[in-house]
Amino acid sequence: MSLYSLLQRRFIKFIKKVMHWKFVCSCLLLGILSHGCAFTSHTLTKNPQTIISSQKILFIKPVPSTILNKPLKSNSDDLVWYDNPSTVQRRPLIAGNWKLNPKTLTEATTLLKLLSSHFLNHYASNSPDTPEVAIFPPYPFLTTAIHILDGTGIKVGAQNIGLQTEGAYTGEVSASMIRSLGCDYVMLGHSERRCLFGESDKTINQKVQLALDEPGLDVILCVGETEEEYENNLLSSVVSLQIKKGLMGVPVEELHRIVIAYEPVWAIGTGKVATPDQAQLAHVSVRESLSEVYGSDDSKKVRIQYGGSVKPDSIERLMTMPDVDGALVGGASLTADSFTRIVDGAAVSPFNYQPPKEFTARECVATKNVLGESPIWSVRDQTLYWISAPEEEVWSWNLNDAPYRRLFGTTIGCVVLKQGEHGSVVIGGERALLATNMSPQTNDFAVGASILCERPEQAEATRPNDGRVDRQGRFVFGMYNNYHRAGVSVGENNAGIYRLNSNLEVEQILDYKYRVSNCICFPKEGNIMYFCDTPTRKVYAFDYNDTGPLTNRRLVYTMPADLPGGPDGAQVDADGLLWIALSGAGRVVRVNPNTGAVDMVVHLPVRSPTSVTFGGKDLDELFITTRGPDGGGLYRLKMPFGIVGLPEPEFIVNQNSNTNFILQQQRDLASMYQRDGN
Ligand code: PEP
């Protein structure tokens, strides 16, 4: 055995002894305190956000440590300290550590473009309720990252810096270099640097000093214990030493530039995420170490991230802990979707949570649609219409006879009602908006659908997608980037929202572009429009003005981080509540658009509901379209509690004005279609 490891063992033995006595004393103290608690009027609660009465309160541990694959011993089995969270509000920071990934600039660019599309128009705010976001790509991708993420609000940081400022140090990178590129952060003391590259606390401290010499460059200092240290109750002492040595000489005035990432080594890249209470205990210990150096008030302002196998399904519970101020994410930051979901899960959420009422819908038509969509109920026809997009078909069902379908020879994004005789509808075809008739009496298929107008964005790889008629009788539809996941336009926001008016003129009504239109629907007053760009998983309300663009965007719902998929079609009920199909998550939720609260969940036995509407003679049934591979049928649920929908409006064509223009346009399009052989 080497002298070094002998000394190391002796040191660990010594620490264990000290910890033993510390533990005995703590137990005595905790005993006294908990005894004291029994006689006070503090409410013991699982929800730390409701703790407002004292600086520090002792709680019964709320959740057993069950998440770990191999449960680790907790430092104290039944008790968790919560710091009073009401004193300081800390904005969460979600950081993505890309490590030595991805392999090429091309792959990095794809990931950055997807992130940019997710975040543009959705996160750039500085509100304390939305998390700050930073990514840490390898050095060669920093400039590209800063360039592509410009305007998204995502900050960029470096994973390391060298110990020198300039000169003959081949292969090194200095703090001033990364700052001059536009980096806002540098990450120091990551366990991989400590273990694989032998970085000591002293080296890390020198780097911290060098970073702080660069105005505008903040530091994420990583600390954390190994599994062996954890098992031996050494968490507090290990972390305390790392913090005190790492921050040696950092004055209190600079403390606001430091973020601590508590990353237990046993959790990094292992899939063993710490339980929320394990993380909370450790973070309290980190804060105590800071407090010993900087005092209690200043230490309370420091953000402490948790890192180690954080995934979309673990972030929300971690974030309920009062001392968990965000996350440092490794593996899950390499996919734009999972990283974005983790950011969503870290957003401040309302804590007056009531469990929703749950129901299950039954299949009523086993259509096996590849992509069923856009259900609408016609009060005039007492019939439900819906489409299957790639199969180019519109379906019709009067709830009594067998359903039937018609083929249109074009990919279809949506179907809406059209004022006129029984069966009049408009369909959003890939190349044009088409008027047609779905009545069972119509059998002259040689005539086919008539072209109302060309679709917008002729030069883009988009097609019409979700759409509905507004309460004034105009057809509002959004577009879909055909390649939003891959290919030439990967990640590009190139789709818009348009309104077709009664003169068959199309106007663009959203002042930004996005990827996949969904959720378009209107309450009965017609003064609000809901919309979601599905990859962002956020549903917005806009003021819907009689003329001009959509204004006053506000967030009404973010899909919970632990659910897969994205919001798809939506409908408003007679009470103004929003029913959203969560495709991929096998459910439809009812959301109060004023509070974001979900009070009803309709489960489906298939993964991907695509849209919803109300129908039936009393408008008291919910119809849900679904898609393959496991779905594809039409589902139905009789509504409880007197819930009813609104009659679906019909698209109105102005017969008197502009007739010549319309006819000319139709002739032009018809000849164009003939020319192209369509
Ligand atoms: C990390 O490397 O900082 C990290 C937390 O990795 P992972 O999330 O993959 O465990």
List of E strands, 8-78: 56-60
The pair of structure tokens assigned to 523 is 């309450």
Of ligand 1's listed atoms, the one at least distance from the Cα of 333 is 8
Place of tokens 């050494």: 234
- How far apart, in whole angstroms, are the C-alpha atoms of residue 477 and residue 500? 8
Residue 98 alpha carbon to ligand 1 centre in Å: 9
**Phi first, then psi: what are they for 199, rounded to 5°?**
-75, 125
Q: SS3 of 448, please?
A: coil
Residue ranges lining ligand 1, Cβ < 6 Å? 97, 263, 268-269, 307-310, 328-332
**Mean pLDDT, the chain, as a whole number?**
84
Residue 366 alpha carbon to ligand 1 centre in Å: 45
Q: Is 216 left (phi over 0), alpha (psi -120 to 50) or beta?
A: left
Q: Is the pLDDT of residue 482 over 90?
A: no
Give the bridge partners for 571, in sequence order.
579
**Cβ contact 468:476 at 8 Å:** yes
**Cβ contact 145:159 at 8 Å:** no
| pLDDT given at position 491 | 65
Residue with CA nearest ligand 1 atom 4: 330
Q: What is the pLDDT of residues 441-480, one digit of tens each?
A: 876 655 578 889 888 998 888 889 999 999 999 999 999 8
Percentage above 70 pLDDT, the chain: 81
Residue with CA nearest ligand 1 atom 8: 330
The pair of structure tokens assigned to 120 is 């543009």
**Cβ contact 236:75 at 8 Å:** yes
Q: What is the pLDDT of residues 292-335, one digit of tens each?
A: 999 999 999 999 999 999 999 999 999 989 999 999 999 999 99
pLDDT band (50, 70, 90) for residue 497: very high
CA distances, 502 to each of 333, 407, 670 (Å): 47, 26, 20
**Cβ contact 678:671 at 8 Å:** no
Using most ligand atoms within 8 A of CB, pick from 193, 310, 342 the residue to mutate for ligand 1. Answer: 310
Count of CB atoms within 10 A of residue 511's CB? 12
| pLDDT given at position 48 | 34
| pLDDT given at position 54 | 26
Q: Given CA atoms 362, 364, 366, 369 in this order, what sign does their dihedral have?
A: negative
Q: Based on the number of CB atoms within 10 Å of its own CB, is 395 exposed (0-12), middle (13-18) or buried (19 or more)?
A: buried
- How far apart, in whole angstroms, are the C-alpha atoms of residue 545 and residue 471? 11
- Mean pLDDT, range 73-92, rounded to an integer: 54
**Cβ contact 540:512 at 8 Å:** no
Give the strand order in the sheet containing 538-543.
Answer: 517-521, 528-533, 538-543, 551-558
Smallest Cα–Cα separation from 267: which of 279, 283, 277, 284? 279
Using most ligand atoms within 8 A of CB, pick from 68, 93, 94, 97 the residue to mutate for ligand 1. Answer: 97
Count of CB atoms within 10 A of residue 521's CB? 26
Q: Is the pLDDT of residue 80 over 80?
A: no
Of ligand 1's listed atoms, the one at least distance from the Cα of 192 is 2
Residue 137 alpha carbon to ligand 1 centre in Å: 13
CB crowding 224-241: b at 16 or more within 10 Å, else e: bbbeebbebbbbbbbbbe
Using most ligand atoms within 8 A of CB, pick from 100, 268, 315, 333 the residue to mutate for ligand 1. Answer: 268
| pLDDT given at position 444 | 60
Residue 675 alpha carbon to ligand 1 centre in Å: 57
Q: At a CB cut-off of 8 Å and minimum separation 6, what does 167 contact?
A: none
Question: In 3-state terms, the chain is what percent helix, strand and coil (to 5)?
Answer: 25, 30, 45
Residue with CA nearest ligand 1 atom 1: 330
Q: Is the pLDDT of residue 44 over 70?
A: no
Q: What residues are annotated to the active site?
A: 190, 263
Q: At a CB cut-off of 8 Å and minimum separation 6, what does 106 contact?
A: none
**Phi first, then psi: what are they for 437, rounded to 5°?**
-130, 130
pTM: 0.77
Q: Identify the top-confidence range among 18-27, 117-126, 134-143, 342-351.
A: 134-143
- How far apart, in whole angstroms, are the C-alpha atoms of residue 600 and residue 355? 9
**Cβ contact 414:464 at 8 Å:** yes
pLDDT band (50, 70, 90) for residue 191: very high
